[in-house]
Amino acid sequence: MAAFTICTLRLSFPAVLLVAGSLPVSAESTPKVIYGTDDRLDWHEETHPERLALARSTCLLRRGAVVDNGDGTWTLNGLPPSSVWLEPIGVVPLCETERFNDQPVLGDCSGFLVASDIVATASHCLFGNLEFVKFVFNVYMIDENTPRLVIDDQDLYFADEVIGRMPNDGSGEDWALIRLDRPVTSPGAVPLPTRRSGIIGLGEKVGVIGHPLGLPGKIAWGDDTIVRDNTRPSQFIANLDAYGGNSGSAVFNQTTGIVEGIIFGGEVDYVLMGNCAATNVVPNDGGAGEGVMRSTVAGFQSLIPVASPAGPPVIDDSAKGNGNGLIDPDDSNIEILFPVRNVDEKTLTGVTGALSSTDPNVVPGDANAAWPSMDPGSTHTADTSFTFSIKPEHDFGTPVPVTLSLTLPDNGGTRDYTFMLETQKPVETQYWGIR
Ligand SMILES: [Ca+2]
Ligand SMILES: [Ca+2]
């Protein structure tokens, strides 16, 4: 009964991968489609706080330039959808009836955070030169008319290295893990738990969060969006409302909120309606379905640490400082707390850490700490605070690096996470006359 019987083999062929056909273009194309009702929501339309929280841990992959505004912010310039390649019909204006047709195309793929400094995406999203790829968090519509085009330093990251990838060879194992240039401190971004064992059930509800067509972020969790085919070992098929640009998006279990996999391919996005492009709409049980690589794929899962920092460290200068929450010359033995998230499926015990700095003006005090037992998905700081002081000769007003060396149990190894902490110039007290 499918209105469009596009060959289901497309799920396994690079020719139907989901890169948005924008900007420097891959030779590979990108399919997407609506099943039943269009479940896409802009962030400002989403009423579920849990889904919004998950969205903050997702990112846009962008090859286009970012403009440095010189004040800690950057500007993203977008393209109108009418100027990008719409799979499979080409550069055609979207029909006026298409939702979001006045929003800018800002990137070409999607990703999500699986560790403090590791983004997961689809392997085919890494075409071209890796150094041109930016990983941008918190790209969304502020309201119906306003895309968030000016982003902060902490929303923008670059690739340090590809720590693993599996080009789609037909098995559906289309994944890549990229180490970023530093831990992510974008507001609300935390490592997302992924399914590590077992299998989602046929008919279970799923949702996708990412950047269809490279637009500002969309959340698509329909009540009738489910696992439609669960027979393949490395992938499942679901009727997710997704477009080119959704490649690399996290697919979530609607019940548990954990990541079940990575979307990588599917049905075609658009059909020609006269002289404009209209979304390919098929019934919930029609079309080819969207291909989702299971997060349980061993090569992928083995590279994701079971715990890592969840956001920036928290400073406490109230005990031996001036309690203003800032690092300034009046403070000594500044307490620093690192939230760490357990993304394993098991309770985690025995996580320890050490504090250091490459800056000789930063002097650790209490440099060792241990984390309490952590339930799956929970975030904790250590049982006791790390402390450090900064020598007076530091040029206050410039940031200092602090490094958390986090050791995981069960041969999980030790990894360093370096954060830059802002310091404050001494404030000159000013007295104002009272009239
Ligand atoms: Ca739908
Ligand atoms: Ca202070």
pLDDT band at 32 (very low <50, low <70, confident <90, very high): low
Residue 26 has pLDDT above 60, yes or no: no
For ligand 2, the distance from its centroid to the CA atom of residue 317, given in whole angstroms, is 5
Q: What is the three-class DSSP state of 103?
A: coil
Model pLDDT, residue 27: 29
Ligand nearest to the CA of 220: 1
Q: Which of 346, 364, 360, 361 lies closest to 408, judged by CA?
A: 346
129-143 mean pLDDT: 96
For ligand 2, the distance from its centroid to the CA atom of residue 320, given in whole angstroms, is 9
Ligand nearest to the CA of 334: 2
For ligand 2, the distance from its centroid to the CA atom of residue 164, given in whole angstroms, is 42
Residue 135 has pLDDT above 80, yes or no: yes
End-to-end CA distance of the chain: 82
Model pLDDT, residue 8: 22
Q: Which residue has the tokens 């500007």?
A: 75
pLDDT band at 171 (very low <50, low <70, confident <90, very high): confident
For ligand 2, the distance from its centroid to the CA atom of residue 156, given in whole angstroms, is 27
Ligand nearest to the CA of 283: 1
73-81 mean pLDDT: 95
For ligand 2, the distance from its centroid to the CA atom of residue 327, given in whole angstroms, is 4
| Residues within 5 A (CB) of ion ligand 1 | 35-36, 39, 222, 241
In whole numbers, what is the pLDDT of the chain averaged over residues?
Answer: 90
Both structure tokens of 268: 């075609």
For ligand 2, the distance from its centroid to the CA atom of residue 325, given in whole angstroms, is 5
Q: Which residue did the predictor score with more confidence, 7 or 204? A: 204
Q: Which of 42, 33, 83 lies closest to 278, judged by CA?
A: 33
Model pLDDT, residue 426: 75
Model pLDDT, residue 16: 40
Q: Which of 26, 25, 40, 31 lies closest to 11, judged by CA?
A: 31
CB within 8 Å of 226: residues ≥ 6 apart: 203, 204, 205, 206, 238, 239
The secondary structure of 356-388 as a DSSP string is: E-SSTTEEESS-EEE---B-TT-EE--SS-EEE
pLDDT band at 301 (very low <50, low <70, confident <90, very high): very high
Ligand nearest to the CA of 317: 2
Lowest mean pLDDT among 75-84, 245-254, 369-378, 415-424: 75-84
Ligand nearest to the CA of 224: 1
Helix residue spans in 27-139 (DSSP H): 49-55
For ligand 2, the distance from its centroid to the CA atom of residue 311, given in whole angstroms, is 21
For ligand 2, the distance from its centroid to the CA atom of residue 360, given in whole angstroms, is 20
Ligand nearest to the CA of 289: 1
With pLDDT > 70 as the criterion, what percentage of the chain qualifies?
Answer: 90
303 close to 182: Cβ distance less than 8 angstroms: no
For ligand 2, the distance from its centroid to the CA atom of residue 341, given in whole angstroms, is 27
Model pLDDT, residue 7: 22
Model pLDDT, residue 31: 44
Listed in order, strand segments (DSSP E) in 33-173 are: 34-35, 40-42, 58-62, 66-68, 73-76, 109-115, 118-121, 134-137, 141-143, 146-147, 150-152, 156-166
Name 121's bridge partners: 176
Ligand nearest to the CA of 320: 2
The string of pLDDT tens digits covering residues 10-23 is 222 233 445 554 33
Instruction: Centre a 10 Å sphere on the Cβ of residue 3 and count the other Cβ atoms it contains.
Output: 11
Pairing mode, strands 400-408 and 413-421: antiparallel
d(CA 60, CA 39): 20
For ligand 2, the distance from its centroid to the CA atom of residue 331, given in whole angstroms, is 5
Q: What are phi and psi of 11, to 5 degrees?
A: -60, -25
Ligand nearest to the CA of 207: 1
Helix residue spans in 211-333 (DSSP H): 298-301
d(CA 401, CA 385): 17
Ligand nearest to the CA of 421: 2
Model pLDDT, residue 427: 65
Model pLDDT, residue 431: 55
Pairing mode, strands 276-279 and 235-238: unpaired
Model pLDDT, residue 200: 98
Cα 347 from chain centre: 24
Ligand nearest to the CA of 316: 2
- Look up the pTM and report it: 0.91
364 close to 355: Cβ distance less than 8 angstroms: yes
Strands laid side by side in the 66-68 sheet: 66-68, 73-76, 150-152
Q: Which residue did the predictor score with more confidence, 268 or 373? A: 373
The string of pLDDT tens digits covering residues 206-252 is 999 999 999 999 999 999 999 999 999 999 999 999 999 999 999 99
The string of pLDDT tens digits covering residues 369-413 is 999 999 999 999 999 999 999 999 999 999 999 999 999 999 999
Ligand nearest to the CA of 290: 1
Residue 359 has pLDDT above 90, yes or no: yes
For ligand 2, the distance from its centroid to the CA atom of residue 316, given in whole angstroms, is 8
Q: What is the three-class DSSP state of 141?
A: strand
Domains contained in the chain, CATH given: 8-301 (2.40.10.120), 307-421 (2.60.40.10)
Ligand nearest to the CA of 325: 2
pLDDT band at 9 (very low <50, low <70, confident <90, very high): very low
Query: What size, in residues, is the chain?
Result: 435
Cα separation values, 273 from 80, 89, 347, Å: 19, 11, 54
